Amino acid sequence: MPTRTDLRNIAIIAHVDHGKTTLVDHMLRQARVFRENQQVAERIMDSNDLERERGITILAKNTAIRIPDPKTGGEVKINIVDTPGHADFGGEVERVLNMVDGVLLLVDAAEGPKPQTRFVLRKALGMGRRAIVVINKLDRKDADPERVLNETFDLFIELGASDEQADFPVVYASATQGRASLTVELGPDLVPLFSTILDEVPAPNVDPDAPVQMLVTTLDYDPYRGMVAVGRIFAGRIRAGQPMARITRDGKVRPVTAAYLYVHQGLARVEVEEAAAGEIVAIAGLDEVAIGETLADPENPVALPTITVEEPTVRMTFGVNTSPFGGREGRWSTSRRIRDRLFEELKHNVAMQVAETASADTFLVSGRGELHLAILIETMRREGYEFQVSRPEVILREDENGELLEPFEEVHIETNPETVGAVVEMLGKRRGEMLKMIDTSQGLVHLEYIVPTRGLLGFRYQFLTATRGMGLINTIFHGYAAQAGPIPTRSKGSLVAWEEGIATIFGIKGTEVRGSMFISAGTHVYEGMVIGEHQRPGDLDVNIAKTKHLTNMRQSIREIDERITPPRNLSLDECIEYLSDDELLEVTPENLRIRKRVLDRHERGRAAKRAKEALEV
């Protein structure tokens, strides 16, 4: 089978914040993709607003560079896929690995392999991809490249790498400086990295004269040319305007036309007339297509193996906002609009699942983790949607004997020696099983646990509080096992508004002694809205809108100038972690409000009484 020596397809994989996107920036610069005087933002591949705000890659993206090949004297095109590093977005990694022949595995020169490093490397090795290890951030003061290289080799062996995969090439780099070398003494540029890619990543073995086959890996949308399918041509050639056969996941064959054909060059898509096997292309003008489907020759339609990803482990309900303030702030708030948006998400988010429930205005959305679902919530919120969501819950399974199984996570924690005791106690209460506890060279303590996913819901904020914001926690899916038993939920109750009105300074002043506040004076509240966290177990209904009784008696100026504690402004992630089973989160483009499922305080009291009586019986 012919080999395309003028082409390489690679993906860059790593743990969160190990420098993938920064490295791509400098690869683009040194490949002369930008003009000399062109102003280019940092982490240019993180084009999504949420990605820039959170500092992480959420969506896999394609780019391409051209570099000279010193052996042939010609140019070689390198298609590059920048992937997410967080395990919650592992579906992005799993599907883009179908497009490439090799991977650059970035490892921090000080931190070494992390949980997500294990996750993405396991996927790459399982698909037989050739890996180049890039030990990045060599400019760090605490860099220890020799230790990190040994740990990385151990990880390859632990994950069952073949002899060929375990004999990986190593490149040392500093992505922020745009420098690389085959030794720890960095060179002036990234030429050693480019040379290693050309020498070590296998060129595509393809048959350009066979019937065409292309696997759809990513979907995009062009406002002028409609749906855009991105994928790799595994065989044959595609020409613009060519009739093709779309083979669906269930084997049905539908006629389509490749109206417009693009290839990637730098950050842009360039329209071309023809592309051959081995190339990563984008086809626009398709009426309908889904990820995992095959575009094939209409006269000889042969499907490629479809894309499979791991099943979700966490779910939550999305529903129409039923609060008294519903419909005031959002552009789209009806069940039809919410339903259409959720099912639209499934077209390009293959790791997510959506199911309808017995209620027409409530939908069950399943994902890889709390962050996976939180990104969807924040995206919909910015698009103008208004809705309410419930507390996340784990997805249980049954084994062949009918026993219920629940998901478990592998948890890696680094914290100060002074706070280890508190962390161990917290994880012990959440049914965590300690695997390892070691002192690091940085004076920290590294803990490894297996913890039920159920025990980690709402844990991150409490962990940061216990470690005074200095602790680091990373999790990765471990597997399903027998249920671990009861796990205590939130230890404190909520402060709940008992009537609709406007929060006053006088009302807040009298309430803040009962706990911490989530709202400030002047905030509109309604009965059943959570306005703060109670300092004790159990909820407390408070009159936050009461005003001070006015008289004609003279008062000291100090009494008039009431001083209140600033409120805790909860982020979306913190709101989701805070929720208890009897609470909902109201999401609008302007506000996040936590509320009780049952707004009427008398009704809540009667329900609590009935639950107590049922337990006594």
Decide: helix, strand or coil at residue 244. strand
Average pLDDT score over residue span 306-335: 88
The fold of the 213-296 domain, in CATH, is: Elongation Factor Tu (Ef-tu); domain 3 (2.40.30)
Distance of alpha carbon 324 from the chain centroid: 32
Average pLDDT score over residue span 467-490: 84
Q: Options 3.40.30.10, 2.30.110.10, 3.40.50.300, 3.30.420.40; which CATH number does 7-200 get?
A: 3.40.50.300
What's the confidence (pLDDT) of residue 527?
93
Q: 280 near 9, Cβ under 8 Å?
A: yes
Contacts of 6 (CB under 8 A, 6+ apart): 74, 75, 76, 77
pLDDT one-digit tens code per residue, 16-35:
777 777 888 888 887 776 54
Which ranges in the chain are annotated with CATH 3.30.70.240?
Answer: 401-482
**How far is 64 from 79, CA to CA, in rounded Å?**
4
For 462-484, letters b (16+ CB in 10 Å) and e give ebeebbeeebebbbbbbebeeeb
pLDDT above 60 for 262: yes
Residue 177 CB neighbours (<10 A): 16
Structure pTM? 0.79
pLDDT above 90 for 98: no
What's the confidence (pLDDT) of residue 30?
79
Which ranges in the chain are annotated with CATH 2.40.30.10?
Answer: 213-296
Backbone phi and psi for residue 242, each to the nearest 5 degrees, phi listed first: -75, 135
Which ranges in the chain are annotated with CATH 3.40.50.300?
Answer: 7-200
Average pLDDT score over residue span 67-72: 82
Average pLDDT score over residue span 399-404: 86
What's the confidence (pLDDT) of residue 94?
75
Residue 9: C-alpha distances to residues 54, 144, 385, 519 (Å):
28, 30, 38, 51
Which ranges in the chain are annotated with CATH 2.40.50.250?
Answer: 498-616
**End-to-end CA, the chain:** 75
What's the confidence (pLDDT) of residue 519?
92
**Selection from 428, 502, 410, 505 nearest residue 466 by Cα:** 428
- Which residue is it, tokens 């990373």? 474
Burial class (CB in 10 A: 0-12, 13-18, 19+), 171: buried
> What CATH number should be reported for the domain whose range is 314-394?
3.30.70.870
**How far is 31 from 224, CA to CA, in rounded Å?**
30
The dihedral region occupied by 462, where left means phi > 0, alpha psi between -120 and 50, and beta the remainder, is: alpha
Q: Where does the pLDDT of residue 559 fall: very low under 50, low under 70, confident under 90, or very high at 90 and above? A: very low
Of the listed ranges 74-83, 85-94, 383-392, 427-436, the one predicted with least confidence: 85-94
What's the confidence (pLDDT) of residue 47?
53
Residue 364: C-alpha distances to residues 39, 60, 180, 282, 354 (Å):
44, 25, 48, 32, 6
Of the listed ranges 107-121, 168-182, 330-344, the one predicted with least confidence: 107-121
Q: Where does the pLDDT of residue 68 fall: very low under 50, low under 70, confident under 90, or very high at 90 and above? A: confident
CATH architecture of residue range(s) 401-482: 2-Layer Sandwich (3.30)
**How far is 456 from 91, CA to CA, in rounded Å?**
21
- In DSSP notation, 324-385 reads TTTTSS-SB-SHHHHHHHHHHHTTT-TT-EEEE-SSTTEEEEEESSHHHHHHHHHHHHHTTB
For 81-107, letters b (16+ CB in 10 Å) and e give bbbbbbbbbbbbbbbbbbbbbbbbbbb
pLDDT one-digit tens code per residue, 182-228:
998 988 889 899 999 999 999 888 888 889 999 988 888 777 888 88
Which ranges in the chain are annotated with CATH 3.30.70.870?
Answer: 314-394
What's the confidence (pLDDT) of residue 172?
94
- Class assignment of domain 498-616? mainly beta
